[in-house]
Chains A and B, each alone.
Chain A
């Protein structure tokens, strides 16, 4: 799974994020207060305005602090009842309808159907739930105001903060209930949709190798074709075997009985629905001169996610891991990697490019080459490094790390400190000899000259464990839940001062803007080709491509100056809108990676950080409305 932005540990992320949030809140508060002051000044004069503004702010703080949970709960129940009256169940019916027809356009011949099915259910659920949240939240208060139902509420001793919170909670409860049911149905749909087996008959198998007693050593063959794929199967003399990996899964297979009573069995798919818990390291590249670089070679890919190294040279892909200990990996190191290949000549077509995996102690430089492997692009190679290492493909070496510094090439450890005797041993202990204070390096080299290996940081990891898939699936839905709560927050906020349809459009705008906030930020920072909004529009009309220079002149200058202002606006908008896309964990679930606690915490804090100001803003908007007074 491509992880394009590194996930920072929660505690490392928190201080910076809180600071940024506080800064934004202060700026917004000051801006809102100044605006209120200005409006009041125009209406009541400057001195009176200060007093009024002060009163509104203090009353607001009191309103927020003195919220009564009992009244909030009553209003929450009201919102729930109202939602049920407005037939939210329709959304569920649409969902079921979508699932019923999904089988028609979900291709079972896809290279990875699990990924496809999971992406589909999570995306479909998120679209439907977000739409529901949008409609419920945006139309509720305006409808109550229009039908004057709200008047019966505000005549009671309720605070506007309680009205807002009650709505938000009520819609959240309804959405949560619906989301839970959808998650259950989706899970059933995925499991049912992906579950399959194959048949195997005597005609499909042939014997290979004759062991003693004229028993075949293996039987190999092909299973039947089901769900537009089939597997190669290998059954050992014991009668137990397994298939190869195709479409992201494999099956156990067995042969029981003999003679006419022989039975062939292929089990259910394995490793289709998983949640790997990866431990990522940091990646650096060793160039052909043996010097470490932060980036690899670009072999001409448009997407520069992966860096490449040259084969048949000292170049290597080096992952440095921290906190590798016996407690986490008692059985040895389970390494999984997906290595990219770039050939500059045909080489041997019939087989992949040869590469090797080594371990290196970052302190002593002891390097042990453990395995030579054949590359298989876009497939994950699994490798378990045992605790006791007695087999290696080349003599161990002591290799210092070389880095370029302004003072020249720096060696770690220094040449004089190298203990070459370490390499003379023929048996090593993984944790005693190669791991140093939890630190370990995994090196991958390409062994064939003229060929290249490529990787990104997330392409090699230690598979610490497997989390339960169901739990990961639930976490995926938690991401949708966070998105839903945010949409409800924005919807309720807009509905406190806008009419239903306008509030809906505003919330939709926030939603769409939020999904594209990353793009807007890049646009605002000038990281996108084609200039700002006006320049891009001009290029569209003039049919100019993104890269061509615009003719210099007054119009171009004016346009670019106006774009600078517009870009500033875009930056502000992109900064205050939640990046909805980041709350989606679809890729994690679909690619079979556990959603870490860190990520869940980060996004939850993120959501709360947005919801708090949204709630406060909603309260003030409702408070200053006539109906709420």
Chain B
């Protein structure tokens, strides 16, 4: 009897197991060529989460993951801790090995690739005194990111990082001259890439372009700001053009490069950029938006009886308290903090908005006016957002810079300044350096005075550039034992941008040449 009961019990267990296997099968049957698989397989495919969709499948990585017996997180944590320790002890051999292991353990965790690549290219490389060692580690970080791309083919941020490291780390480091030279000579990195294309800005630009393509194909930008994300490709062209001139390449090659940069900057400005305010803007549209604001305001002003705005202001003034009036009578420079706050509140009270103005209209004019005021506020808001986004990437400066730099005068001015600097640095012919500098500064004067670029002298970024040139010119004069000219050709630039000088400009009375 007992053995029969035991037999039945076993049968019951078997049936229960078989029944439980059914939902398991329904859930997790793997996908094949002919079938989409179970619920999990289909869901993986829909969300693009299967290994094959994410990137290359690596048996080593899979083996390591399996070997941790489900303790992948713990293992990664231990390895991360080890990496920190090796980094602290400057044990680069073990650090490299540990980073490889972490990446293999968590190949689809994007921050691992980004963080560790940054650590290698920026932090570890800086530990090396020899610039060749530093370069090697910068490249190691870039290769690490490329390895990450192998596992995560649809991650635009990784491509973007490759672009950033290649462009910015190599092109902007203190040792960028040496890095750019080594980069051009690096056959192992470039493989069959032609020598003339081995410029870090151009290679970086390729990666930024790949990142953009992925986003356009629907990949997520994660938390990256679109305005910055899209700016890097044209900025690479700008930086490439600058680098050409820094290395003494002017004329047609530089002109064409600036021309291309200008075109690409315009294309960037024409791109639809989603903003954090929920609007979609185009950076090129700021001018048009401001024009539209002016047009709408003119229409509204036409409808408003003359003197209405002033009348409203007067009415509001009459309603101010005695205390508020007293504060407004105190000169701004003598106000206390509390008085400043009161004054700001009063200003706010006295400000007449377009909507408030329209509300005072009567009859049909009122509804028309209100409609117009609403449009005006909205257009003004958009223009303001575009302005803010333009400021993030210094949009107007670079637009104007690309236009300016491709003019023959600018190319000539840059060339002369370059030649002068070369002569000064080599200390071969100071007189020649001075002459070339003066020719260059004269060419700049012509550009600042040209009608093609009105208000250029006020541009702060260009002002900084010019101030730097002027300071070198001063050093050349010092070396020639000559006084700084009293009627200096770019004195207006000095007066406007004196605050950007590295060293204080001598006071008028103490100016050289004044005696």
Binding site for B on A (CB under 8 A): 2, 101, 104-107, 110-112, 115-116, 119, 225, 230, 302-303, 305, 341, 343, 346, 349-350, 352-353, 375-378
Please give, as numbers and ranges, the residues of chain B lying within 8 Å of A302 by CB-CB distance.
88
Determine if B100 is an interface residue (Cβ-Cβ < 8 Å).
yes
In the docked arrangement, what's the CA distance between A116 and B99, Å?
13
Most buried by B among A105, A106, A119: A105
Known: A105-B60, A378-B133. 18 other contacts (CB 8 A): A2-B89, A101-B60, A104-B63, A107-B100, A110-B93, A111-B93, A111-B96, A115-B94, A116-B93, A225-B188, A303-B88, A305-B89, A346-B174, A349-B131, A349-B174, A377-B128, A377-B129, A377-B133
B133 x A110 contact (CB < 8 A) = no
Determine if B246 is an interface residue (Cβ-Cβ < 8 Å).
no
Closest Cβ of chain A to B324, distance in Å, is: 47
Proximity string of chain B (284-307) to chain A, C-beta cutoff 8 Å, 1 when within and 0 when not = 000000000000000000000000
In the docked arrangement, what's the CA distance between A346 and B126, Å?
12
In the docked arrangement, what's the CA distance between A352 and B128, Å?
10
B131 x A111 contact (CB < 8 A) = no
Please give, as numbers and ranges, the residues of chain A lying within 8 Å of B129 by CB-CB distance.
341, 343, 352-353, 375-377
Please give, as numbers and ranges, the residues of chain B lying within 8 Å of A101 by CB-CB distance.
60, 63
Q: Indicate the size class of the contact surface on chain B.
A: 20 to 34
Contact residues, B129-163 vs A (CB, 8 A) = 129-131, 133
In the docked arrangement, what's the CA distance between A346 and B131, Å?
11
Closest Cβ of chain A to B207, distance in Å, is: 21
Cβ-closest chain A residue relative to B134: A349
B93 x A350 contact (CB < 8 A) = no
Contact A105/B104 with A349-B131, A349-B174 known, Cβ cut-off 8 Å: yes
Cβ-closest chain A residue relative to B127: A377
Closest Cβ of chain B to A448, distance in Å, is: 12
Cβ-closest chain B residue relative to A114: B93
Contact residues, B155-201 vs A (CB, 8 A) = 174-175, 178, 188
Closest Cβ of chain A to B345, distance in Å, is: 41
Question: What 6 A-B pairs are tightest by C-beta distance, nearest first?
Answer: A341-B129, A104-B60, A377-B129, A112-B93, A115-B93, A349-B175
In the docked arrangement, what's the CA distance between A302 and B129, Å?
18
In the docked arrangement, what's the CA distance between A377 and B131, Å?
11
Can you report 9 residue pairs joining A to B where beta carbons are below 8 Å apart?
Answer: A2-B91, A105-B104, A110-B93, A110-B96, A111-B92, A115-B93, A115-B94, A341-B129, A343-B129
Determine if B64 is an interface residue (Cβ-Cβ < 8 Å).
yes
Determine if B59 is an interface residue (Cβ-Cβ < 8 Å).
yes
Binding site for A on B (CB under 8 A): 59-60, 63-64, 88-94, 96-97, 100-101, 104, 127-131, 133, 174-175, 178, 188
Please give, as numbers and ranges, the residues of chain A lying within 8 Å of B90 by CB-CB distance.
303, 378
Please give, as numbers and ranges, the residues of chain B lying within 8 Å of A352 by CB-CB distance.
129-130
Most buried by A among B93, B175, B178: B93
In the docked arrangement, what's the CA distance between A106 and B100, Å?
9
Closest Cβ of chain A to B88, distance in Å, is: 5
B97 x A116 contact (CB < 8 A) = yes
Please give, as numbers and ranges, the residues of chain A lying within 8 Å of B178 by CB-CB distance.
349-350
Closest Cβ of chain B to A443, distance in Å, is: 20
Please give, as numbers and ranges, the residues of chain A lying within 8 Å of B96 by CB-CB distance.
107, 110-111
In the docked arrangement, what's the CA distance between A101 and B188, Å?
26
In the docked arrangement, what's the CA distance between A314 and B104, Å?
50
B130 x A376 contact (CB < 8 A) = yes
In the docked arrangement, what's the CA distance between A352 and B92, Å?
20
Contact A105/B92 with A343-B129, A349-B175, A378-B133 known, Cβ cut-off 8 Å: no
Contact A377/B60 with A105-B100, A349-B178 known, Cβ cut-off 8 Å: no
Cβ-closest chain A residue relative to B173: A349
In the docked arrangement, what's the CA distance between A105 and B99, Å?
11
In the docked arrangement, what's the CA distance between A243 and B374, Å?
77
Closest Cβ of chain B to A289, distance in Å, is: 26
Contact A230/B174 with A115-B93, A377-B133 known, Cβ cut-off 8 Å: no
Closest Cβ of chain B to A102, distance in Å, is: 10
B101 x A303 contact (CB < 8 A) = no
Cβ-closest chain B residue relative to A119: B94
Please give, as numbers and ranges, the residues of chain A lying within 8 Å of B133 by CB-CB distance.
377-378
Please give, as numbers and ranges, the residues of chain A lying within 8 Å of B64 by CB-CB distance.
105
Please give, as numbers and ranges, the residues of chain A lying within 8 Å of B104 by CB-CB distance.
105
Please give, as numbers and ranges, the residues of chain B lying within 8 Å of A305 by CB-CB distance.
89
Cβ-closest chain B residue relative to A229: B188
B92 x A378 contact (CB < 8 A) = yes
Closest Cβ of chain A to B75, distance in Å, is: 13
Please give, as numbers and ranges, the residues of chain B lying within 8 Å of A107 by CB-CB distance.
96-97, 100
Q: Which of B63, B94, B188 touches A230 (beta carbons < 8 Å)?
A: B188
Cβ-closest chain A residue relative to B177: A349
Please give, as numbers and ranges, the residues of chain B lying within 8 Å of A104 by CB-CB distance.
59-60, 63
